[in-house]
Structure 1
Amino acid sequence: MAELDPPVLIRGGTVFDGSGQRPGLRADVLVRDGIVAQIGIDLVAPDGAAVIDATDQWVTPGFVDLHTHYDAEIEMAPALGESVRHGVTSVLVGSCGLSFAMGTPEDLADQFCRVEAVPYDTVLPLLEKIKDWETPAEYLDHLDALPLGPNVTAMFGHSAVRSAVMGLGRSVDDKARPTARELDEMTRQLHGALDAGYLGMSFNTLPWDKLDGDRFRSKSTPSVYAKWKEYRHFAKVLRARERVMQMVPDLAGRWNIPLIGVMSTGVGRKSLKMMVISMVDSVAMRGTHRIAGAMTSFLNDKLHAEMRWQSLPLPFELWVDGMEVPVMEELGAGTQALHETDLETRQALLADPAWREMFKKQWTNPLSPKAWHRDLDEPKIIDCPDASLIGRSFASVAAERGIEPLDCFLDLQAEFGNDLRWYTVVGNDRVKELEYVVDHPTVLIGFSDAGAHLRNMAYYDFPLHLFRLVVNAEADGRTLMTRERAVHRVTGEIADYLGIDAGHLEVGRRADIVVVDPATLDGRLDDITEEEMIGMPGLDRLVRRHDACVPAVLVNGRVAWHDGAFADGLGDRTGFGRLLRATT
């Protein structure tokens, strides 16, 4: 029988299997027909095989990204090349209660676009054109038919099913509750989704995630309006089905995190897999990451919870055009400004004395919890029509002008609008504390938000930053974690927790493989650039590209990326990524 694809021999690398149990060993890896056929020393290359020289390099399972919002991008550019070129071979969509699993195109665009900072005028026409599914199962079949770059798996979004069953208007009415019939229908849809292979269900309790569109603009997303009785109802289903519950807590107040943790406990009942967003060494609230770590360890160790935090292994940085960033929504006045889609109208509001007084009062309220530190001496202006301001902080400009920093911040916003671009660090800025986060046993590495916040963030390459932390510690004569554990943290550990067939490099398993050059895990990983977004003309997104770090990527046994170039057909023909359904 003819082989589906030419064999691939990866020669001479240090092979890590993704289990975290065995040190990397020098070996060759032979791939045939999408499967790891042999792992051994000095294997003979079959006739016609492509040979990849991995001398002095690591050969690992493909990385798993457990938190993306690729739901829209996958329809425009299914290669998802920014992830693939960095070694990510499996991605999860449907995070934060948002999902295209069911609902009308307008309802889905209203829920998705403002929250994830993706252009509404691109997504709505796209959905109106391509949406050919009605049920969650049909949506998975739709994804499975796309010419995927990486493998794709999905969560079932609570906001999507809530709005589809209740109607978007009722689902965002604080006084409305689902009727018994509506709750039964949502439950039926959830069971159907789990039967079809969704990993679980995602939820959101964060009030400053707002709707787009003009019908219910600036209302929170539907999942936020549910009461705890409703969350517990679905948790009971997920617990019985042994599936994952993903929850966005109220990140400003953090008041509901203990309630989320208790929901995961397994005393006298099954444990519930609970993924929570996100453990960060926050500049605004120092020490909360250690409190979160201690609390979650207690719940997992003593009360049999299965609660895990999604966390990034690098500083949490934001690049911002004007006020276009989610943290502004934690202020009511910020939401009022972002409610205005016409930028001239918004700039006029920013200059209004009454609005400014309200904004200042909310900004300076000492009792107000903060997701962002609001220290205007820290952010730097990186682009502006007034070139003399570039490279300076808002506080330094304010001092020069003889005004308060917050007045200066608002003055510049009113004057330049989205032409004012600035940079700030939200968290993970201290190496010692970042190492605490990435080493913590209750953490799952990954919170990339890939496919969203296209102008704000660039975390497509997050696994490489974990590896850099490890090799930097080794260079200092310390051990942060073993190399095999570092590989495990971004491969097998995530895949096994999610319940998908991924993350392991073993004979007989699907060949999703990455070659990493550890000698390149250096400062070049920090370089930021902007590249035009495929399918969204005129929009440049942030990316980090250090292509020498990942010489080769195989997805489903096919070379998808090699020596700085994508394979012919990636994103245009099937045979690379596939849909991964829950294995339990």
Structure 2
Amino acid sequence: MADTLIKQARIFDGSTDTSFIGDVRIKDGVVQKISKTELSPNSGETVVDAKGLWLTPGFIDFHTHYDAEIEMAPDLSESVRHGVTTISLGSCSLSLAVGDPTDLADMFSRVEAIPRKNVLSILESKKNWNSASEYKNHLNSMPLGPNVTSFAGHSAIRAHVMGLERSLTKGENPTKQELEKMNQHLEEALDAGFMGLSINTLVWDKMDGSRFRSRPLPSTYANWSEYEYLNKTLRKRGKIFQGVPNVSTKINVLMFLKEAFGIFRKPLKTTVISLMDVKFDPGLYKLLNVIGRITNTIFRSDFKFQALPEPFDLYADGMDVVVFEEFAAGAKANHIEDELERKQLMKDPTYRSWFKRQWTNWFLPRVFHRNFKETKIVDAPDKSLIGKSIDEVAKEKGVHSVTAFLDLVAEHGNKVRWYTVMANHRKEPLQKIVSYPDILIGFSDAGAHLRGMAHYNFPLRMLKLVQDAELEKKPFMTMEKAVHRLTGEIGDWFGIDAGYIKEGKRADLVLIDPTKLDDSLAKDVEAPMPFMEDFKRWVRRNDETIKKVYINGKLAIDQGKPVPALGKEKGYGSFLASTIGR
């Protein structure tokens, strides 16, 4: 492991303390010295001239779905190249720690929009563990790129204990013995260093495969007494309850708030997705902020919404995007695996009428804006369509926009690709959201929705948001606070030994060129997946912004590119056990 001296960088240590120009010496994987006066190089030391650059702690992405990808590509370079040095697995009730490979593939694939055949192939060839401790040991046996933390996934545990079919049957509750067994798996996970439990109550997250296709995930079939039983363990041990509310009901989130309450009892650390400025409901983010404040002040809770510091944009191939799961007609189309059969459905008059009624019904619960004026076609067999909105296509043909959309999918299937922005489209509300005390900056979903979402570089977009305001002489947050929200604040709340530059601590560091925190951060490309033949995912690349990334003192990214050893050699990342509670 080469020793390194980084000279004359602007150092942000991960706290809210004022940044300063200084030198940092890395030796044997740790930060040996931080100095405001220049240090002289030691013999054999690699010297990095960092004048004009920012040095920050490695960023923490606490909400990913890299559970499958990490098995085949442990470098996870799509996140590391943007300065992320610690990621978390096991979100949204999905985890690979326990369970049958086929069951896990069926749970994981459709929800996270990853081809099932690839997930199943990975699990069948790799899975030789069936407990949290074995899974942790397995992760540590791999040449990890970033550090890894994890939640225990409720869907996986429930299916493993009850059997997949019973776990997916309405009204089928676990026996007392099964509840105790679930809790035993949770205790084992916490003993192994997992951060807590993740659950999912969102019924438009559906199963894949042929056995129980289109049923909601096992976690959604649980009643709140089941969650409360498991939460007793989390509360007792000071661990974290992570959840996905059922956004279709709007009031479901109140149950998560109730669990977090700390009046007459110990508060339960709780985090849910997600606080956004959604186009459909422009005042919702304000209401959620008030709810979060009341929960944490009056009810003495420790509750956090997750929030992204960038526009929440989506790509869709035909109808293949998660937002169509929020209403029955869209879910019916996504239930059909065969593209030819789905095209035929698009032509069926009865279906078309049903789809149109639901799409235009303002009284049905929704999160997506369902406005075809807000779309842009980016690819199609008919190249004359590219650059137009679906609404413009409809006007050219003299038909309703829903009719035009169904015609496009009926004719071209998944070969018509379109883009839209669902939320966080307004600058000032976004600035307010990332400033709220009751949010955590994260929720990238990295490793999932491979064709539809690309939030891998969200930390850099947070820094750009803050720097742009400074340049406009309308600052709303210090840069020190922005870095803290991406590093130390997350590490502290989740109990992760990461997020700070301190002497004696592991050297997870990022060198950033602040002049490249520009519009290039929004540039998107399609990049081949390293282990999926002929499959391309949507990503963002901004190689000029990140100069170097160090993980455990080892150079992982050099001039925006992964070094050859990343994901091949050990000595970079490792499993980080939770440091909070007991």
Indicate if the aligned counterparts of 2:547 and 2:560 stay in contact, CA closer than 8 A. yes
User: Matched residues in 1 for 2:454 and 2:315: separation?
Assistant: 9
Cα deviation, residue 535, structure 1: 0.7
User: Matched residues in 2 for 1:137 and 1:354: separation?
Assistant: 52
Equivalent residue for 1:122?
Answer: 118
Indicate if the aligned counterparts of 2:545 and 2:560 stay in contact, CA closer than 8 A. no
One-letter amino acid of the counterpart of residue 548, structure 1 = E
1:515-554 correspondence to structure 2 within 5 Å: 515-554=511-550
Q: Deviations over 1:446-502 (max 9, x none)?
A: 111000001101111000011011111111112211111000000010011100100
Cα deviation, residue 140, structure 1: 1.1
Answering whether residue 48 of structure 2 is matched by residue 52 of structure 1, we say yes
The alignment partner of 2:92 has SS state of coil
Matching residue within 79, 101, 106 for 1:105: 101
Q: Deviations over 1:530-584 (max 9, x none)?
A: 1101111111111111111110000001011112332231101110011111113
Q: Deviations over 1:287-331 (max 9, x none)?
A: 111100011011101111111011100000001101111110111
Cα deviation, residue 57, structure 1: 1.2
The alignment partner of 2:409 has SS state of helix
Matching residue within 9, 13, 26 for 2:5: 9
Equivalent residue for 2:476?
Answer: 480
Q: Deviations over 1:349-373 (max 9, x none)?
A: 1111111122122212221111100
One-letter amino acid of the counterpart of residue 61, structure 2 = D
Answering whether residue 279 of structure 2 is matched by residue 283 of structure 1, we say yes
Equivalent residue for 1:569?
Answer: 565
User: Matched residues in 2 for 1:46 and 1:549: separation?
Assistant: 29
Indicate if the aligned counterparts of 1:278 and 1:311 stay in contact, CA closer than 8 A. yes
Q: Deviations over 1:176-216 (max 9, x none)?
A: 00111100100111011100100001000000000001110
User: Matched residues in 1 for 2:121 and 2:465: separation?
Assistant: 43
Q: Which runs of 5+ in 2 are unaligned?
A: none
Answering whether residue 34 of structure 2 is matched by residue 39 of structure 1, we say yes
Normalising by structure 1, what TM-score?
A: 0.98
Indicate if the aligned counterparts of 1:198 and 1:581 stay in contact, CA closer than 8 A. yes
Q: Deviations over 1:6-40 (max 9, x none)?
A: 211111101111012x1111010000011100011
Q: Which runs of 5+ in 1 are unaligned?
A: none
Of 557-566 and 92-101, more deviation after overlay is shown by: 557-566
Equivalent residue for 1:141?
Answer: 137
1:112-261 correspondence to structure 2 within 5 Å: 112-261=108-257
One-letter amino acid of the counterpart of residue 249, structure 1 = P
User: Matched residues in 2 for 1:546 and 1:500: separation?
Assistant: 27
Matching residue within 322, 326, 338 for 1:342: 338
User: Matched residues in 2 for 1:563 and 1:521: separation?
Assistant: 15
Indicate if the aligned counterparts of 2:10 and 2:21 stay in contact, CA closer than 8 A. yes
1:125-524 correspondence to structure 2 within 5 Å: 125-524=121-520
One-letter amino acid of the counterpart of residue 148, structure 1 = L
Equivalent residue for 1:558?
Answer: 554
Q: Deviations over 1:381-423 (max 9, x none)?
A: 1101111111111111111111111111111111110000000
Aligned length: 579
Equivalent residue for 1:25?
Answer: 20
User: Matched residues in 2 for 1:286 and 1:253: separation?
Assistant: 18
User: Matched residues in 2 for 1:191 and 1:24: separation?
Assistant: 41
Indicate if the aligned counterparts of 2:542 and 2:560 stay in contact, CA closer than 8 A. no
User: Matched residues in 1 for 2:270 and 2:388: separation?
Assistant: 42
Normalising by structure 2, what TM-score?
A: 0.99
Indicate if the aligned counterparts of 1:285 and 1:370 stay in contact, CA closer than 8 A. no
Indicate if the aligned counterparts of 2:7 and 2:24 stay in contact, CA closer than 8 A. yes
Of 105-114 and 51-60, more deviation after overlay is shown by: 51-60
The alignment partner of 1:473 has SS state of helix
Q: Deviations over 1:65-105 (max 9, x none)?
A: 01000001001100000111100000001100000010000
Indicate if the aligned counterparts of 1:381 and 1:394 stay in contact, CA closer than 8 A. yes
One-letter amino acid of the counterpart of residue 415, structure 1 = E
Cα deviation, residue 44, structure 1: 1.6
User: Matched residues in 1 for 2:172 and 2:534: separation?
Assistant: 40
Q: 4+ residue stretches of structure 1 with deviation over 4 A?
A: none
User: Matched residues in 2 for 1:469 and 1:110: separation?
Assistant: 38
